[in-house]
Structure 1
Amino acid sequence: MASGDLRQRTKPAPTDNGDPPAANLNAGTTTLTDPKVAHPSGKRKHGRLIRWFRGFSFAVYFLSSCIAINLTQIVGAPLYWLNRDLYYAYMALTKQSFGLLITSMTYWWGPTTIRISGDDSVAGQIKRTADGRVEFAFPERLVLIANHQIYTDWLYLWWVGYANSPQMHGYLYIILKESLKYIPVIGTGMMFYGFIFMSRKMAVDQPRMAHRLGKLKTRHTAPDGRSYLNPMWLLLFPEGTNLSNNGRAKSARWAEKSGLVDMQHLLLPRSTGMYFCLSELKDTVEYVYDCTVAYEGVPRGGYGEEYFGLSSTYFEGRAPKSVNFHWRRFRIADIPLSDAKEFELWLRERWYEKDALMEEYLATGRFPASPEAIVDSKGLQGRTGAYVETEVRTRYPFEFVQIFVVLGVFGLVWNVLGKMWANTVGVFR
């Protein structure tokens, strides 16, 4: 579907009662206008008592894991003044722990099907494993962009890093709004992770970004004298915020003010931050990977945040029935970075294409299938034009224990040293 065709369509009008219009979610079989179907994942699967227990157990696991990770980071903080390379490697391990945390908590409390396809540019990089998982073969350094549907988009994209070979969930970097760094425990952890915090004032943000991006493109020297770059996945949401009624209105006003055609299913992207990042990293990164994300059940004209919040997904047992990814990649050498205006046009055209993909998803319940056969780890091929369907889960049942290993070892050593000290003092008394 050409972007020009997309621009001729108008947004469907809401129904008389203000509800979103009926949506053809899966080959026209499901609508949301029936008041008995208030949520795309159906009625609550649990009563109040079970929901309370799920919420309590989730909170205990999540908070205890976050505290353990944060304490692990604090224990390793002195490495910053001893050896910077060792410090960043150590923090990457703690970031892996957070990747394990969100993967395991989604598998236990918010299980969902992940349906994945891609165009020719990612052919051979998405494989089905023999045990039903997916394995991505994306490079160690890339810039990852995506449309922003709900607050937890980053959670599913972080899992992609976990499912990649080599695993990259310890090298994900996210650009976030500044207020998030003041969240107790979690904000401190994100600062240790080297995430980039934005105030949305370019005069303030540009020096910060230049500093952080400078670290991400710093070359290191191996013991054998070889120069290398650390792995890096930089995640950007060019829309700047998730899709919502407020964001939709702002995008429409900006389109009218700028004489642009607004998106039907996305927000108009902001190019300034991405342009700066790519300009800084262009000599150290070869590709931009683009993921178009859609959640099953969100009706035409509706917003995912209204259906798939933390409570619905993790406490009520109403996670999205499927999270759908469609992947593309673009060579940075082919992106017009010599002129900011040309880049803005390039990014907007990519977003019109993504909007057309979203239209196809809403009309058929599927993104375009991968054009090549899907090959599993044993070399067996699926049908041409296939999808990989899997779930967010860890490779091993008790892999989450790694979250607590470093802190446990430190506590054990501290206890042993304390007893040795006590015994030594006792001898000399």
Structure 2
Amino acid sequence: MAIPAAAVVVPLGILFFLSGLIVNAIQATCFVLIRPLSKNTYRRINRTVAELLWLELVWLVDWWARVQIKVFTDPETFRQLGREHALVISNHRSDIDWLVGWVLAQASCLGSTLAVMKKSSKLLPLGLQRLKDYPLPFWLALFVEGTRFTQAKLLAAQEYATSTGLPVPRNVLIPRTKGFVAAVNHMRSFVPAIYDVTVAIPKSSPQPTMLRLFKGQASVVHVHIKRHKMKDLPETDDAVAQWCRDVFIAKDALLDRHKADDTFGDQYLQGTGRPYKSLVVVAAWAVTVVAGMIKFLQCSSLLSSWKGIAFSAATLGLITVLMHILISFSQAERSTPAKVAPAKRKTPEETSDLKQEKQH
């Protein structure tokens, strides 16, 4: 079953790797030559070339797997998407949630969109300082649950909530609020909105995964977006942390209603379509990379003899076999259920973080 996935991973991986080298070379050149003269000009160029790279992954979702992303929100919020700085908080249902966000951002701010989760949240304060004078709209997405939702992790969260008298979650994990509080404290003065995003998979659709994407297997993803004004958040750290927990309690109830109705029917369904930008970019990269590889092989004489052709074929075959083994191992590991570790008595948030981390 993994061979079709490997057949896609290998050429796409080569394309992504080589195009990434080109993008990195452009970025390094601009950093040396342009950034000392104009920081904002460098940022604009960097955003554009980064988008040329990330659109390859958007193509994987939009055009190869043809994942349907249905957005439920009010018309005003939909119009604001990508036109303002925003802090995005979301539940974490699958391993492509960050890609769903990139698909939504592709129309306007893909090159300046960043998702933060797990260990990368330790670098959050340093990154936030650099965003203060960023000249173009950006999204900073925080997965405050800290890890992907599974039934084993939900059981751990429910056990902790029961032992501490907190509301018992049914569809989300207990949020880790330290990173969110730090983000709000740093971004109050220059970020006008928080996008509260809720992701759900309808009953009729299989769970989307990276493996399904590589195989070209479609899924449907429902995305509910609620916009909060940053200025309406409370002032103290404890109150901001409680605000985040309250949002997830409301998100839990919203997911209950989605389970019952199989839709976020209380909001307008906004059409996103499939923009051609990613299709054009991938086609352009493919032509550029293939032409460059052919030229390289001709210059290196690898295609001028049977030995060179055999060596090239053997190398490609080895890469394909290794990718097949890697994908098979990943699929087997994902299907192995996690064990719920017993809780340790620490502070409430430390206990929640510890129990959720041990499920990862």
**Deviation for aligned residue 1:154:** 0.5
Q: Does the alignment pair 1:359 with 2:256? A: yes
Query: Structure 2: which amino acid aligns with 1:92?
Result: R
Classify 1:56/1:365 alpha carbon distance in 2 versus 1 (closer, same or farther; 3 Å).
same
Give runs of aligned pairs for residues 222-261 of structure 1, distance below 5 A. Answer: 229-261=135-167
Residue deviations 1:237-267, cap 9 Å, x none?
1111110133213322432343201211111
Distance in 2, matches of 1:365 and 1:405, equals 42
Distance in 2, matches of 1:340 and 1:397, equals 44
Give runs of aligned pairs for residues 202-213 of structure 1, distance below 5 A. Answer: 205=122, 208-213=123-128
**Deviation for aligned residue 1:405:** 8.9
Distance in 2, matches of 1:298 and 1:270, equals 31
Conserved in 2, the CA contact under 8 Å of 1:114 and 1:323?
yes
Secondary structure, aligned partner of 2:243: helix
Classify 1:257/1:396 alpha carbon distance in 2 versus 1 (closer, same or farther; 3 Å).
closer
Distance in 1, matches of 2:133 and 2:78, equals 29
Give runs of aligned pairs for residues 27-426 of structure 1, distance below 5 A. Answer: 52-84=3-35, 85=39, 86-118=41-73, 122-126=74-78, 137-163=81-107, 167-178=108-119, 197-198=120-121, 205=122, 208-218=123-133, 229-297=135-203, 307-315=207-215, 317-320=216-219, 322-336=220-234, 338-370=235-267, 386-395=268-277, 397-401=279-283, 403=285
Secondary structure, aligned partner of 1:344: helix
Classify 1:398/1:142 alpha carbon distance in 2 versus 1 (closer, same or farther; 3 Å).
same
Identity %: 21
Aligned to 1:373: none
TM-score, length basis structure 1: 0.61
Conserved in 2, the CA contact under 8 Å of 1:326 and 1:367?
yes
Classify 1:353/1:281 alpha carbon distance in 2 versus 1 (closer, same or farther; 3 Å).
same
Classify 1:269/1:403 alpha carbon distance in 2 versus 1 (closer, same or farther; 3 Å).
farther
Secondary structure, aligned partner of 1:324: strand
Task: Please list every run of at least 4 consecutive aligned residues from structure 1 whose deviation after the TM superposition is greater than 6 angstroms.
Answer: 404-411
Classify 1:95/1:75 alpha carbon distance in 2 versus 1 (closer, same or farther; 3 Å).
closer
Query: Structure 1: which amino acid aligns with 2:127?
Result: R
Distance in 2, matches of 1:403 and 1:95, equals 13
Distance in 1, matches of 2:126 and 2:278, equals 38
Distance in 2, matches of 1:245 and 1:401, equals 40
TM-score, length basis structure 2: 0.71
Distance in 2, matches of 1:177 and 1:81, equals 32
Aligned to 1:41: none
Conserved in 1, the CA contact under 8 Å of 2:202 and 2:263?
no
Aligned to 1:382: none
Secondary structure, aligned partner of 2:21: helix
Structure 2 unaligned segments of length 5 or more: list them.
Answer: 294-360
Conserved in 1, the CA contact under 8 Å of 2:200 and 2:223?
yes
**Deviation for aligned residue 1:404:** 6.7
Secondary structure, aligned partner of 1:238: coil
Structure 1 unaligned segments of length 5 or more: list them.
Answer: 1-47, 128-135, 179-196, 199-204, 220-228, 371-385, 412-429
Conserved in 2, the CA contact under 8 Å of 1:369 and 1:387?
no
Secondary structure, aligned partner of 2:208: coil
Query: Structure 2: which amino acid aligns with 1:398?
Result: V
Residue deviations 1:137-160, cap 9 Å, x none?
443311111111011100011111
Distance in 1, matches of 2:61 and 2:275, equals 7
Aligned length: 290
Conserved in 2, the CA contact under 8 Å of 1:71 and 1:407?
no
Structure scoring higher RCO (CA < 8 A, sep ≥ 6) equals 1
Query: Structure 2: which amino acid aligns with 1:368?
Result: G
Higher relative helix content = 2
Conserved in 2, the CA contact under 8 Å of 1:104 and 1:393?
no
Distance in 2, matches of 1:345 and 1:258, equals 15
RMSD: 3.0
